[in-house]
Amino acid sequence: MAKQSKNTYYKSPMNYTGGKHKLLPQILPVFPKEINTFVDLFTGGANVAINVNANKIVANDLDSKVIGIYERFKDFPIEDILHHIEERIAQYQLSKTNKEGYLALRSNYNWAQDEPLDLFVLICYSFNHQIRFNNNGEFNMPFGKDRSSFNDSIRKNLISFRECIENITFTNKDFRELKVDKLKEGDFVYCDPPYLITDATYNEQGGWDFRCELDLLALLDRLNEKGVGFALSNVLTNKGKENELLKEWCKKYHTLHLSKTYANCSYHAKDKTTDTTDEVLITNYRVSVDLAEPGTDKTVETTWKQEANGTMSVLENKIV
């Protein structure tokens, strides 16, 4: 599918914690203009993979359920997917208020666990559209009463997502299994791992620890030695916590401090940060002298607006 023009971006139908859709206007322009193979190593909602331009796109995640949903989307034309979803909604009379219907579908799904599209329907009606399984492998998100449903915006996002993923290869591996040796100059790896110092449902069972962080940083160093470009999303500080390891490691590379003030988002120098969260993009290439050097006086201000269809649109990038 042709990528959106004028810096508007497709949005995943999965409402992923830590999803990068709102940060795309700040992240995507920083990627190299020409990419041969692009690897989205922690794809989650795949917000980055569906918007990137590259000859080949690989989207990986450790979560087999999430990758299972994407594979299933690829198996069927969009009409069949929508038909399946609508059939389930009718069968269980799903709505923003029918908790019993949601719980019935949830228990039937947990009993059989064989239809990824049913899991997608459950996520549409779950609290905050989140995905979470207990230790017995059962989907256990509560009902998203009065808020969650398969609404028009998810429907629209699903239709464009289905087109975008046509040429994406999905893989379901631990990031350490990435075959670094197969990548070369011209390829690019984007990493958006769970953050060591924040919480998310995909990290509740202690999935991401200091060992994972060390292994990822070592992998990125190996990519750098091979001349493969990378960009790493992360936070250096969050609610009083600091990621000391990352703060030290990133000194070797280039760090962009991103803004979460979406009304008028801007790249900014570190010392101008007023957020308690210092959200960064660390690259192994110089994005621009002014942008990449923390402490600089220069700032790129990105003015953006949200389109009626939910996509984000950059109006202007201005160096001030």
The C-alpha atoms of residue 163 and residue 204 are separated, in whole angstroms, by: 32
- Assess 47 for contact with ligand SAM (CB under 6 A): yes
- Using the Cα atoms of residue 141, residue 135, residue 178 and residue 254 in order, give the sign of their dihedral: positive
3-state helix, strand, coil in the chain (%, to 5): 40, 20, 40
- Tell me how far apart the alpha carbons of residues 88 and 85 are, in angstroms, rounded to a whole number: 5
Q: Interface residues for ligand SAM in 130-169 (CB under 6 A)?
A: none
Query: Per rule CB under 6 A, is residue 215 in the interface with ligand SAM?
Result: no
For ligand SAM, which residue of 9, 16, 249, 267 counts as binding (CB under 6 A)?
16
Stretch that binds ligand SAM, among 59-67, 68-76, 264-272, 278-286 (CB under 6 A): 59-67
Residue 13 in the binding site for ligand SAM (CB under 6 A): no
DSSP letter assigned to residue 146: T
Q: What is the number of the residue whose Cβ is closest to ligand SAM? A: 44
Query: Please, what is the minimum distance in Å from the beta carbon of residue 66 to ligand SAM?
Result: 6
Is 44 a residue that touches ligand SAM (CB under 6 A)?
yes
Minimum CB separation from ligand SAM for residue 297, in Å? 31
Please report, as a single letter, which amino acid is at residue 109.
Answer: Y
Can you tell me the distance from the alpha carbon of 173 to that of 91, in angstroms, rounded to the nearest whole number? 35
* Alpha-carbon Rg for the chain in angstroms: 20
According to the binding rule CB under 6 A, does residue 9 interact with ligand SAM? Answer: no
The C-alpha atoms of residue 3 and residue 278 are separated, in whole angstroms, by: 29
The strand pairing partners of 190, in sequence order, are 40, 231
Q: Determine, following the binding rule CB under 6 A, whether residue 68 of this chain makes contact with ligand SAM.
A: no
**Nearest residue (CB) to ligand SAM, 14 versus 300:** 14
The angle at the Cα of 171, spanning 167 to 173, to the nearest 5 degrees, equals 160
Q: From the list 31, 70, 120, 202, which residue makes contact with ligand SAM (rule: CB under 6 A)?
A: 202
Q: Does 61 bind ligand SAM (CB under 6 A)?
A: yes
**Site residues (CB under 6 A) for ligand SAM?**
12, 16, 18-20, 42-45, 47-48, 61-63, 174-175, 192-194, 202, 207-208, 212
